[in-house]
Amino acid sequence: MNLPEKMDAINQQYNQAEFEQILFSCIEDGELGFYHMQQLYRYNFDSWVRVKARLMCELTAMFWGIKGIDFLVEAGLNHENKWVKGEILIVLSHAATSLEHVVESFIHVPDNLLKRLDLTNEKYHSENFIRAAKDGLLNIVVNLEPEHIATSVVSHAIDGLAFKDSPYSKKALDLLLAAFSSRWLHITRKKLMDYLSLLQKPHVSEEEIHKHIASNPYLLDPFYAHIWSKEPLGEELIADFIVRLMDGSYIAVEIEKPTDLIMTRKGDMSAPTTHAIRQAIEYRSWLTDNRLYAQQRFENLRRPSCLVVIGMENSLSEKQQKLLTQRNEQGDVKIVGFDWLYQRAETILDNLIRHGLERLEFK
């Protein structure tokens, strides 16, 4: 029988020894084997009888490096079985720290498969492999819905990682907990790339930008608690955004377009920037002057800070960038480019992925 026929046969009547041989054949067949391995995994492995087969597929996917990680992430995002999602989180948590110690969570993986995969190989420790595993882990955890399912899936993964008390399992567990704690940030690589693509769109409108930021408020501040979009302030003003932060402070935000100039060539604020500054100050003045009334909607409102988002900072000369920094240090309205919002969110995501729950300990 050829490999597809063997796969059909194993689907009808499972035999572990034959299943292992099929996986070995997939490994030997390279790219074609990767395709067959995906088909094998997509067979009905939801029953407990076949849990070992499913785990062997998930681990074997790592043989194909980042492509294997991408496959597992897709499965983790789309599979309906929460136990399968949890298993994938376990594999990715180990892959992002030390894949060779995955056996601490999956003790029933056959030794001959582990030997063939050679999990000590340097390809599993490359920077790109580890980064892809961390990205994938975060992507799945952040997008788990609804909340009770997310909690159940991550709890299952935690149980698997806590099965053996070792520094390797603890490191994998710390990374999983970091990913879970980041759910409220809602930052993922895909969301950032979607935002960057929007910024690069020719003739993008202010309305398009506004809608995107309203759907992704972490861009305005990752520590937001609540956001109000196009909020009426009295009869004449409509604030682009009012943001309440986790510490209870508020930000009045005025946005323009990415295509607007922040500064003139001489280093003065451009007309659109000057207008935006004036708007943001008017929002703050109204909120301050009508604080008792405004507090009915904005709890514990104090004097808000002001933020203007306009243009792209990467279009500024070195001199203009220095002048903008000085303006922000001296003024009471912060002015940033739309690309600055992207860079800040990307830095937070990279630090989360790179460091997880690492903390400096002071003794």
Residue 123 lies in domain? 3-184
Give the pair of three-digit tokens for residue 166: 């070792």
Helix (H, G, I), strand (E, B) or coil at 361: coil
**Residue 361, in any domain of the structure:** no
Mean pLDDT of 135-153: 89
- Please compute Rg for the chain using Cα positions: 26
More confident residue, 63 or 103: 63
pTM of the full structure: 0.74
**Residue 142, in any domain of the structure:** yes
Q: Report the percentage of the chain scoring pLDDT > 90.
A: 63
Q: Report the percentage of the chain scoring pLDDT > 70.
A: 94
- Count other Cβ atoms within 10 Å, centred on residue 130: 19
Nearest partner of 68 among 44, 95, 86, judged by Cα: 95
Residue 357 has pLDDT above 80, yes or no: no
Overall number of domains in the chain: 2
Same-domain status, 115 and 235: no
Same-domain status, 26 and 120: yes
More confident residue, 165 or 296: 296
Residue 141 has pLDDT above 50, yes or no: yes
State which amino acid sits at residue 114. Answer: L
**Residue 283, in any domain of the structure:** yes
Nearest partner of 213 among 190, 229, 189, judged by Cα: 229
Same-domain status, 178 and 214: no
Helix (H) or strand (E) holding 224: strand 224-233
**Residue 355, in any domain of the structure:** no
More confident residue, 284 or 84: 284
Residue tagged 């930000």 (tokens): 251
Same-domain status, 267 and 119: no
What mean pLDDT, rounded, does the chain reach? Answer: 89
Which residues, other chains included, contact 136 with Cβ-Cβ below 8 Å and sequence gap of 6+?
69, 70, 72, 73, 76, 92
Exposure letters 154-177 (e unless 16+ CB within 10 A, then b): bebbbebbeeeeeebbebbbbbbb
Residues 219 and 224: their CA atoms lie apart, in Å, by: 9
Same-domain status, 343 and 208: yes
Secondary structure letter of residue 49 according to DSSP: G
Say what the pLDDT of residue 363 is: 38
Same-domain status, 7 and 131: yes
Mean pLDDT of 89-93: 94
**Residue 354, in any domain of the structure:** no
Same-domain status, 221 and 319: yes
Same-domain status, 127 and 242: no
Same-domain status, 255 and 326: yes
Q: 308 pairs with which residues across the strands? A: 254, 335
State which amino acid sits at residue 11. Answer: N
Q: DSSP letters of 292-335?
A: HHHTTTSTT----EEEEE-S-GGGS-HHHHHHHHHHHHHSSEEE
Same-domain status, 206 and 116: no
Last residue within a domain, chosen from 158, 184, 210: 184
Residue 164 has pLDDT above 60, yes or no: yes
Q: CATH no. for residue 340?
A: 3.40.1350.10
Helix (H) or strand (E) holding 284: helix 271-289
pLDDT in tens, 220-246: 998 899 999 999 999 999 999 999 999
Same-domain status, 230 and 163: no
Same-domain status, 26 and 135: yes
Which residues, other chains included, contact 193 with Cβ-Cβ below 8 Å and sequence gap of 6+?
none
Residue 360 banded pLDDT, cuts 50, 70, 90: very low
Residue 9 has pLDDT above 90, yes or no: no
State which amino acid sits at residue 314. Answer: N
**Residue 358, in any domain of the structure:** no
**Residue 268, in any domain of the structure:** yes
**Residue 362, in any domain of the structure:** no
State which amino acid sits at residue 271. Answer: A
Give the pair of three-digit tokens for residue 293: 């009334």
Last residue within a domain, chosen from 184, 210, 244: 184
The answer, yes or no, to whether the previous bond of 167 is cis (omega within 30 of 0) is no
Last residue within a domain, chosen from 154, 184, 214: 184
State which amino acid sits at residue 145. Answer: E
Residue 193 has pLDDT above 60, yes or no: yes
The answer, yes or no, to whether the previous bond of 202 is cis (omega within 30 of 0) is no
